[in-house]
Amino acid sequence: MVTQHGDVGAKRSKRVRRNTQGLIDKAGGHFAAARLEGLMAVYARPLAGRAVAISTGKDEERRVVDFVRCAYLGLDNHPDIVRGAIEAVERYGTLHWSCARTRLNFGLIGDLEGSLSDLFSARVIAYTTVLAANMGALPILASGHLTNGKKPVMVFDKLAHASLAFHKGTIGEETEVVTIAHNDLEALETICRGQRPVAYICDGIYSMGGGAPIADLLSLQQRYGLFLYIDDAHGISIFGRNGEGYARSQIPGELGERTIVAASLGKGFGASGGLIMLGTQRQEDLFRNFAVAHAFSASPNVAAIGAALASASLHRTPELHRRQAALQDRLRQFDGLCETSHAQSRLPIRMVTIGDELAAIGAAHAILDCGFYLSAVFFPTVQRGRAGLRICPTAGHEPENIENLCRALAAIVPTDEAAKENLTPAPPAGHRRKSQ
C-alpha cells in the first residue's frame, strides 16, 4: 500500500495511485512549448570547455556555453577518461556482451568494482545507470531480507528523485510505502517509534538544490535502527577526500548493515553508469543474485568501464582536490553576482524561480539567444506555479562564463522569487523542519 503522511498525526491509510494520464495532460503543453523554443530534445556536439555546438538545421550549428550538464568537476571530456574508454575497447576488441551478469562478466568490471570498493570504503557493484541500481535495490530492501526478515515501512521523501519514486508502486505490492514532507524529521521519527522496521529513501543532494540532513538521519538510525537508502548521484566526487560524495563522506567508518548509498558514474565522476555502495558480504551476495538489473540485464559496456577506471585513477591524484576547489570558487562567484535561494550553499545546483511556466520557458529561450543553455524546469519536476531555471556551474566553466551568464540573467529575469520572498526550499543538514 502506498500512502501519504504529510502530518505527524495523520492516518496512514490513504491509497495513492500513479496518475500518468493526468501528469501528461497537465504538463504536455509546457513540454511542447519548450521543444518549440529549442530548449528540449536538443542535439549537439562538444566543443572546448563547457561549450557545445547545437544543431540548428541541416549543416548549421550554433555555439553556446552549457549550464545544463551535471558534470560538476568538468571531467566528462577529460582526455584521460576519454583515452581510458578508447583503450579498453581496443584491448577487449568488443563493446558489449549480451549476457546477464549472473552468467558472464568482463574481467574489467571486476577491476572497476574492486577499485571503487577501495576508493569509497564499501562493497561496490556497478550498473548501467543509477536508475538500474535503484530498480534492483529497492525491492530487495522492501522484502525484509535486509531488516532481519521483517518487511520495513518504506518512507520516501516527497522530493526523492523520479528514479526512486517511480518504484513506489512495485514495492507497494511488497510492503507499506509512505511519503512524507521534504526533510521532515519529526514525521520520520514518529514512524520510527512504531513496531516495524523503517527504511528512509531520499536523495543526498536533490536535483533542484538542497541536501538531506545526513547527521540527523544518522542520529535517528542510532536511536531506532532506521535503514537509510540514499541516492547521492549529484554528490559523488565533489565531496570527500577520495570523492566518496556528499553522503558517504559524512558517514564515519564502515557503512554497516543499515546504510546503502547509490551514486552515479557520470555527473561529478565524469564517466558513465551507476553504482551502489554496500556494507556487508551478505548484502552483496543478495544483490548479485537477485537485483533485477544484475540478474536479468548486462553490465556497463567496455567503453564505460574503461572510462570509469580512468576516472577512479584520477580520483587518487591531487587533481581531484583542485577540481573540487575550483567548483567551490565558481559557486562563490555565481552567488556574488546572482541572488538565488541556494546562495552560499556548497551544493552545486542553483535555481532561479520565476513562477509561471511559460514565462520560465520564455526566459530560457532569451538566455539561449545570449549564448547560454539553461534548463527550464516546470511541473512535474517542480510544483505548478514554481517554474524556473536550473543552473549547474562547474569546475570546467571559465570565470567569464559565469560573469556573462549572470549579466544575461540580470537583464532578462526578474529577481528570483524564492530569494525575494525568503522561501527556504530545503533546510541545511542538521536543521529540523516542523511537520507540514
Can you give the chain as a three-state secondary structure string? CEEEECCCCCCCCCCCCCCHHHHHHHHHHHHHHHHHCCCCCCCEEECCCCEEEEEEECCEEEEEEECCCCCCCCCCCCHHHHHHHHHHHHHHCCCCCCCCCCCCCCHHHHHHHHHHHHHHCCEEEEECCHHHHHHHHHHHHHCCCCCCCCCCEEEEECCCCHHHHCCHHHHHCCCCEEEECCCCHHHHHHHHCCCCCEEEEEECECCCCCECCHHHHHHHHHHHCCEEEEECCCCCCCCCCCCCCCCHHHCCCCCCCCEEEEEECCHHHCCCCEEEEECCHHHHHHHHHHCHHHHCCCCCCHHHHHHHHHHHHHCCCHHHHHHHHHHHHHHHHHHHHCCCCCCCCCCCCEEEEEECHHHHHHHHHHHHHCCEECEEECCCCCCCCCEEEEECCCCCCCHHHHHHHHHHHHHHCCCCHHHHCCCCCCCCCCCCCCCC
Over the stretch 381-423, which tens digit does the pLDDT of each residue have? Answer: 898 999 999 999 999 999 999 999 999 999 999 765 555 543 4
Q: What are the sequence ranges of the domains in the chain? A: 20-66+318-420, 79-314
Taking the C-alpha atoms of residue 273 and residue 301, their distance in angstroms, rounded to an integer, is 9
Mean pLDDT of the chain: 91
Given this model, what pLDDT does residue 19 score? 80
Look-up: residue for cell 501528461?
24
pLDDT more than 70, % of the chain:
91
Nearest CA-CA partner of 179 in 378, 15, 19: 15
Contact 392, 316 (CB under 8 A): no
Over the stretch 319-336, which tens digit does the pLDDT of each residue have? Answer: 999 999 999 999 999 999
Question: Higher confidence at residue 417 or residue 318?
Answer: 318
Q: Which residues of 45-82 are buried (b: 16+ CB within 10 A; e: fewer)?
A: eeeeebbbebeeeeeeebebbbbbbbbbbbbbbbeebb
CATH of 20-66+318-420, picked from 3.90.1150.10, 3.40.190.10, 1.10.3720.10, 3.90.550.10, is 3.90.1150.10
Q: How confident is the model at residue 57 (pLDDT cuts 50, 70, 90)?
A: confident
Q: Which CATH architecture has domain 79-314?
A: 3-Layer(aba) Sandwich (3.40)
Over the stretch 265-307, which tens digit does the pLDDT of each residue have? Answer: 999 999 999 999 999 999 999 999 999 999 899 999 999 999 9
